[in-house]
Chain A
C-alpha cells in the first residue's frame, strides 16, 4: 500500500489521542487502535516504514509504531 497514506492515517490517529494525554499514554492508545482496527498487512507495512526510518511520522505515531514493532518479528 501507499506508505504516505498509511503514515498519514497513523498521524491522524495520533492527533486525536495526543489531546489531553501525556505522550506515553497517547502512544499506547494509538498502538491499541492500530492493533484493533488495522489489517495485519497494513501493520506490517507501517512497521517496515518505521524500521527503515521513514521521516513522515509524528512523534506520537512513531512511538506507537515502535510499540507495535516490538511485538512483531521483522518481515521475512
Chain B
C-alpha cells in the first residue's frame, strides 16, 4: 500500500510540451498531450475506480474497473490506457458503468475474502475501497457468497501458504488479485525483474524467481512491490501488530549519498512504516532495503541514552548528567590547551550528521578551540574528489542531477558498484541502460552491472587494482590520437596551454593501450573500443566511486576523469558530466560546511584574509590562518605527543580507518577522547567522555546528497537522550566559554547562508516550499542549480593536468602475492553500526573473502573455509567465498563487521594530495587456517554481552 497521505493520479505524467483541452463530467481541463483519461480525470477532481493502475507505473489495462464512456466512441474504453484528444468529452459515471464495475468487483471478491478485520491493509486497501464504493459485500460467484478458496484448491493443489521468509514483509497469495502491480514495480521501478506471474487463468499467481521463497529469490527487498500492492497480499510486517499510522513526516534517508526523500509514518512517537516520497527529486518515489526497512537501529536496545565519563580507558564507565559530562570535557580540553598549547586539541565531524551540526563543530574548533584542527570522514572517502574537481573545474562537487542520466548516451562507470552501494540511483541508471545507452565498466571485479537481466556492459575493463591512472591515460591516448576530442569546445572553454601540455603527454606512446596493457591487465583492443564508444557518444557521462578515490593516486585519477570529460566536451549540460557517487548521506554537505582543516565553508582557504575577516566579524574572534591537522596527521601527532584531545562526532575511526593497530595506538595516546555516537562503538573503547547521539529521526536539519541537493531532515520522534547533536555541541562550546545560542537548526542555516556564498539563498522556508534545492543557490539561481558549469566553468577556463601514472608502493611480492581490494554490499552500510542492528543481517551475516577458483585451488581452499589474510600491517581471518567475480591474483572483502578486521590488514598508504587512505590496494597472502584469531573469537563472545554501563533505550521511543 502506498503512503497514507498520497493521492494517486493513476498513470504517470505525460512529458509532451503540447496541451489539449478536454471535458470530463462537464469539467473542462487542459492537460499535456499524451495524458491518460484517468489522469486527466484525477486532475479535474474525479477519481475513476481502478485497481491495476498507479501513477508510478505504466498503464496496464488489466483490471477493467476504470471503464468510461467517451462521446462519439463505441463501447467502454479503459481510462488508464486511453489518452486524451482535443475536445474529448468523457463521462466517468453512469448506471451502465456502475453495473459493469460491480460485476468486475464481484469477480475479484470471489477470489479475495472480505475478512477485513485485522487485515494489515484494513482501511487502506484499494479492493476494500472499490467494494465499498460499489456496495459489494459478497460475491455471487462463490459457493457461500464469500470466498471460493484459492484456485489451487480447484485443481487439487495445496493451498498457497503465506511466505514470511523476508524479514520485513509477508506475501499472502490468498489476498493477491493478480493485478501485476508488484511485477511491474520490480521491472519498472527497481529494475531487478525478480517477480513474474506464473501459471495461467485461475491458477495465475505471483512468483519470486522460479517459485522460490522471497528470501531465496533474486528479490533485493527494495519494497517497491509491497508499496505497489493494492491489497495486503504483499504487506509490511511492521503493520501487523502496530497501531495505524496517523501522521507522516517528510524527511531524508540517513544512509547513502543518494539522499532519498522518505515519508516516516508515525503513531504515538513510533515509526510504523517508511515509504519513499513520490515527489522526492533524488529518488523519484523509490527506496532500497536500507532506507525503507532498516530504520529499527534507531530504537535498538544498544542505543546509548546517558552521557558517561571515566578517568582512564580501562576504568568502568560512570553515567552522569549532560552538564557533568560536558563540563568535564570542557575542563579537560582547556587543561590540555594550557599545558600543551592551543594546537593540541581538535575534532572530527561526521558525514552522517546534518549540515547544521557539522557547521557547529567546525565553528567550535575554529572559534572556541582557536585552531583549524578539524577534519571529516570524507578524508577517508571522497577528499580526492574535492581536491581534483576544484583544481580542474573550480568546484568540489559533482556536476549533475541524478535525473541527468536519463539523457546520457554512454555511461562510463569507474570504481563504483551502484546496485550495491547506491541502489536507488542504480535503478535509474538501469532504466536508461535498458533503453539502450552504452555502458563501459572499469572495475577489477565483475560487478552486477557487467551482466544483469536485460543489461550487459558493452565493455568491462577488468583492470588490476592500483592501475586506474594508467587505464584512463590510455583511454585519453586513444581519444586524442584518433581525433575524438572536441576542439571547438576545448578552445572556447579551457586553458589553451594546459590542454596542449596534456595532449602532448597522453599522446606519448608509453600511454598507449598497447604499452599499458602489461601493467593494467586490460587488453588494448578492448580499451580502444571502449574509448571510441565514450569519445563518440553524443552525451557521455562518467559516474565514479571510491574505487577512484581510495588510492595513492586518488586525486590524480579524479583530475584525469575531469580531463577526459573536458576534452570530449562532456560537461555543462544534461546527460553528461563527472559524477562522484558519495558514500554517506551527507559527505557532500559535511565538506561544504568547512570541515577540512584548510578550508572554511564553500571550500575557501583559511589563509584568504577576506574570507577570514568575514568569519571573524560574524563570530567575534580572531581566527587562525594556518591549516590544521588532517585525520591521519592527528594520529601521527597523537603518537608524537603534540596532539592530546579529540572530539569525534558520529564517526567510528577505530573501525573505519586503515591500519587499525596504528589507529588504536594513536587513540590510546590521547589524554581526552570525547565520542558522540548512537552506540558504544569501537572508538568509544578509547574514550574518556561518551555523549549519546541522536539518530536522523530525532532532529531537524539538512543533508546534501551526491547531486548537491539540499534536503530537509525533520524531527519525527524526540531525541532518546534528550538532546540533538547540535544541542550537545552548543553546550560544549558554551562550557568552553565561547557562547553559541541557537534555538532551532533553522537559525544555524541562516548563519550558513550569511557566511557561505553557495548557500546564500537557502532557507528552511524555501526548502519547505520547493521540497529540495541544489546548490549553488544564490541571487542568480534562487531555485538552485541542477547542472553546473553551463556555459563556463566555475574556475573560468577549465584546467588540464598532466596525470603521470605512478605505481603504488603496495605491490604484490613473493611474500604477499595477492592484491586485496574492498567494497560494500547492498544490505549493509559501511561499518555496519546501523544495519548490523537490523534484520538486514539476514542477507549478510558476516564478511567473507572472495577468492578466484585458481588462487583457491593452489592454496587448498574450498568455499566456506576459514582463511588467514596477512599484510605487512596485520592479520585477520575470514571465511572464503570461491568465485570468479574476482580475477586471479585479486581478493576482495566487505568491511561491515568489526570482527572481520578488514582494516587490520589495510596500510597507511594514502593519496598524495589529500591523505585519503589506499583502502583499495593491499598486498596480502591468503592461507587456509582452522579457526578465527583469538581476538576475533573474543570479539564474537563480547559482542553478544551487554556493554558494562550501557543504558538501553526503550524498545520503542518514549
Q: Which residues of A are in contact with B by a Cβ distance under 8 Å?
A: 1-2, 5, 9, 12-13, 15-16, 18-21, 33, 36-42
Q: Within the assembled complex, what's the spacing in Å between the Cα atoms of A47 and B642?
A: 17
Q: Is the CB of B501 within 8 A of A20?
A: yes
User: With A1-B640, A2-B636, A36-B598 known to touch, is A16 a contact of B806 (CB < 8 Å)?
Assistant: yes
Interface-located stretch among B281-289, B567-575, B621-629, B872-880 = B621-629
Q: Which of B502, B633, B803 contacts A42, CB < 8 Å?
A: B633
Q: What 1/0 mask marks residues of chain B from 586 to 611 whose CB sits below 8 Å from any chain A CB?
A: 00000000000110000001010000
CA distance A13 to B911 in the complex (A): 9
Minimal Cβ-Cβ distance residue in B for A6:
B636
Report Cα–Cα, A12/B918, bound state, in Å.
Answer: 13
Q: Once the chains are docked, how many angstroms separate the CA of A39 from the CA of B636? A: 12
Leading 7 A-B pairs by shortest Cβ distance: A20-B802, A19-B804, A12-B912, A1-B636, A19-B802, A39-B629, A15-B806
Cβ–Cβ contact B607 & A16, under 8 A: no
- Contacting A at CB under 8 A, from B906-926, are 908, 910, 912-915
**Chain B residue nearest to A1 in the complex (CB):** B636
B627 touches A37 (CB 8 A): yes
Q: Are A39 and B597 closer than 8 Å at their CB atoms?
A: yes
**A residues less than 8 Å from B555 (CB atoms):** 16
Asked if residues B637 and A16 are in contact (CB atoms below 8 Å), the reply is: no
Q: Interface majority SS on A: helix, strand, loop or mixed?
A: helix
**CB distance B636 to A19 under 8 Å?**
no
Contact A16/B633 with A36-B598, A36-B605, A40-B626 known, Cβ cut-off 8 Å: no
Residues of B close to A20: CB separation below 8 A: 501-502, 505, 801-802, 804
A13 touches B913 (CB 8 A): yes
Name the distance in Å between B873's Cβ and chain A's nearest Cβ: 14
Task: Enumerate 14 A-B pairs (CB-CB under 8 Å) in ascending A order.
Answer: A1-B639, A1-B640, A5-B636, A9-B910, A16-B556, A18-B804, A20-B505, A36-B598, A37-B598, A37-B630, A37-B913, A38-B627, A38-B633, A39-B626
- A39 touches which one: B502, B605, B627, B640 (CB < 8 A)? B627
CA A21 to CA B800, docked complex, whole Å: 13
Q: A38 CB to closest chain B CB, in angstroms?
A: 7
Q: How large is the interface on B (under 10, 10 to 19, 20 to 34, 35 or more residues)?
A: 20 to 34
B302-351, CB < 8 A from A: 343
B126 CB, nearest partner CB in chain A, Å: 59
Contact B642 A41 (CB under 8 A): yes
Question: Which residues of A sit under 8 angstroms from B803, Cβ to Cβ?
Answer: 19
Q: Is the CB of B552 within 8 A of A12?
A: yes
- Does A36 lie within 8 Å of B627, measured CB to CB? yes
Report the minimal beta-carbon distance from B493 to chain A, rounded to whole angstroms.
21
Task: Say whether B804 contacts A16, CB under 8 Å.
Answer: yes
Q: How far is the CA of A42 from the CA of B915 in the complex (A)?
A: 14
State A13–B803 Cα separation when bound (angstroms). Answer: 12
A68 to chain B, nearest CB (A): 13
Of residues 610 to 650 in B, which have CB atoms within 8 Å of A's CB atoms? 626-630, 633, 636-637, 639-640, 642
Chain B minimum-CB-distance residue to A21: B802
Type the 1/0 row for B473-507, where 1 means its CB is closer than 8 Å to any CB of A: 00000000000000000000000000001100100
Chain B proximity of A60: nearest CB distance (Å): 12
**Which residues on the B side are within 8 Å of A41 (C-beta)?**
343, 637, 642
Q: Is the CB of B607 within 8 A of A36?
A: yes
Residues 745 to 762 of chain B near chain A (Cβ within 8 Å): none
Chain B residues with CB below 8 A from A39, complex form? 343, 373, 597, 626-630, 633, 637
Contact A1 B607 (CB under 8 A): no
Q: Mark B502-519, 1 if CB is under 8 A from A, else 0.
A: 100100000000000000
- Inter-chain CA distance A1–B639, complex, in Å, is 7
Once the chains bind, are B912 and A13 in contact (CB under 8 Å)? yes
In the complex, residue of chain A having the shortest beta-carbon distance to the beta carbon of B341? A41
* Distance A24 CA – B497 CA, assembled complex (angstroms): 18
The interface residues of chain A lying within 8 Å CB-to-CB of B801 are: 20
- CB <8 Å contact, B913 and A16: yes
CB of A33 within 8 A of CB of B913, answer yes
CA distance in complex: A20, B507 (Å) = 13
Given A20-B802, A36-B598: A15 in contact with B505 (beta carbons within 8 A):
no
| Nearest B residue (CB) for A33 | B913
- Interface core residue of B630, B910, B912, B913 (most chain A CB under 10 Å): B912
Residues of A within 8 A of B607 (CB): 36
Residue of A nearest to B634 (CB): A39
Extra 20 A-B pairs, beta carbons < 8 Å, given A1-B637, A37-B914: A1-B639, A2-B640, A12-B552, A15-B806, A16-B913, A20-B502, A20-B505, A20-B801, A20-B802, A20-B804, A36-B598, A36-B605, A36-B607, A38-B627, A39-B373, A39-B627, A39-B628, A39-B630, A41-B343, A42-B633
Bound-state Cα–Cα, A5 to B907, Å: 12
Bound Cα distance A36, B802 (Å): 21
Closest-CB distance, B380 to chain A (whole angstroms): 16
Docked Cα-Cα span, A18 to B556, in Å, equals 13
Chain B, Cβ-Cβ closest to A8: B809
Give the residues in chain B near A38, CB-CB below 8 Å: 627, 633
Q: How many Å lie between the Cα of A36 and that of B599 in the bound state?
A: 10
In the assembled complex, which residues on chain B have CB atoms less than 8 Å from the CB atom of A16? 555-556, 804, 806, 912-913
A33 CA to B373 CA, complexed, in Å: 18
Write the chain B residue with the least CB distance to A11.
B912
- Return chain B residues, CB-CB under 8 Å to A2: 636, 639-640
Considering the chains assembled together, what is the distance between the CA atoms of A33 and B390 in angstroms?
Answer: 14
- Our pick among B343, B605, B912 for the contact of A15 (Cβ within 8 Å) is B912
User: What separation, in Å, do the CA atoms of A42 and B633 have in the docked complex?
Assistant: 8
The CA-CA distance from A48 to B895 in the complex, in Å, is: 39
